Amino acid sequence: MQYLSDGLGEAMGYLLRMEPSVISAAFRSLWISSLAVLFATLCGVPLGSWLARASIPGRWLLVFALRVAMAFPTVFLGLVCFAIFSRRGPLGALELLYTPWVIVIGEFVLAVPIIASLTHGAVFSLDSRVHETAVTLGAGPIRRWFTYISEARTGITLAVLTAFARCITELGIAMMVGGNIQGRTRTLATATAMETDKGAFAQGLAMGFIMLTIALLVTAIIGWLNHENEV
């Protein structure tokens, strides 16, 4: 049990001392995941809400596929990204392998199905009076869409946070296509795995605690931005 309290103490020490290697991994994790989730939100929320409201044939097949894709193992996504962005791969010429950008792309693919599926669920389960009330008050398609998003915002916030939690803690993509290069692609998750491998449990735990701190801050900020406490 000693190493748990040691880890916590060490985490505090790292944060207070602003240990450069830890701080840089934390910032890298934060910006990579934030960027991936931002783009995934811009795609996933419109996709999910459109699937919830559009009446097109085969819509359920798409919803089903997105739900299955929510369970993508990150190592599998990492492998696919590796195959695409490696020298011999179709996008190898971009030379993105072992850069943070390819991690952003992998995490984007990880996040889109989560955000789209959960947004679909949130918008689909809205009361039918939402649509009727908006129509009867003269709202056009775009205003109606914003109304659905606004009415379902608790569920959509949860979708974004779930995707963010999955991205910031994921290891498979960052390890496979990022390569855990210090100062370039090392994230908190790859650093934690590496410290644990080295037997430096306390340092690994410290990284884990820092991840939790980030999760806490992000949840609080998004909740505050979204006026979650207001109904």
Partner 1 sequence: MPQIEIEDLKVTKGKKLICHMPQMSVESGEQVAIFGANGVGKTTLMLVLAGFERDHQGACNISTALRSRSFMHQTPYLFRGTVLHNVMYGLRSHGIDSTKCRRIADEWLDRFAIADIAQARCANLSGGERKRVALARALAMSPQLLLLDEPFAEVDEAGVSLMSEVLSDLQSTTVVFTSATPLSSDVRARVVEMKTPADTTSSPVECL
Whichever of 83 and 130 has its CB closer to partner 1, that residue is 130
Whichever of 23 and 126 has its CB closer to partner 1, that residue is 126
Q: Which region, left, alpha or beta, applies to residue 39 given φ > 0 means left and ψ of -120 to 50 means alpha?
A: alpha
Q: 10 Å Cβ neighbour count for 57? A: 6
Least distance from C-beta 117 to partner 1, angstroms?
23
Least distance from C-beta 231 to partner 1, angstroms?
4
Per CB under 8 A, contacts with partner 1 among 202-221 are none
Among 5, 73, 132, 183, which residue interacts with partner 1 (rule: CB under 8 A)? 132
Q: CB of 7 within 8 A of CB of 206?
A: yes
- 225: contact with partner 1 by CB under 8 A: no
Stretches 37-45, 113-121, 136-144, 165-173: which one binds partner 1 (CB under 8 A)? Answer: 136-144
- 19: contact with partner 1 by CB under 8 A: no
- 136: contact with partner 1 by CB under 8 A: yes
Which of 165, 160, 143 is closest to 225 using CA atoms?
160
Whichever of 58 and 138 has its CB closer to partner 1, that residue is 138
Judged on CB neighbours under 10 Å (0-12, 13-18, 19+), 147 is: middle
- 153: contact with partner 1 by CB under 8 A: yes
Stretches 5-13, 44-52, 147-155, 185-193: which one binds partner 1 (CB under 8 A)? Answer: 147-155
What is the separation, in whole angstroms, between the first and last Cα of the chain? Answer: 43
How far is Cα 167 from Cα 68, in angstroms, rounded to an integer? Answer: 17
Question: Would you give the binding string for partner 1 spanning residues 22-61, x where CB under 8 A is met?
Answer: ----------------------------------------
- 147: contact with partner 1 by CB under 8 A: yes
Which of 113, 112, 126, 132 is closest to 155 using CA atoms?
126
Question: Would you give the binding string for partner 1 spanning residues 91-130, x where CB under 8 A is met?
Answer: ------------------------------------x-xx
Least distance from C-beta 203 to partner 1, angstroms?
45
Q: Which residues would be at the binding site for partner 1 (CB under 8 A)?
A: 127, 129-130, 132-140, 143, 147, 150-151, 153, 230-231
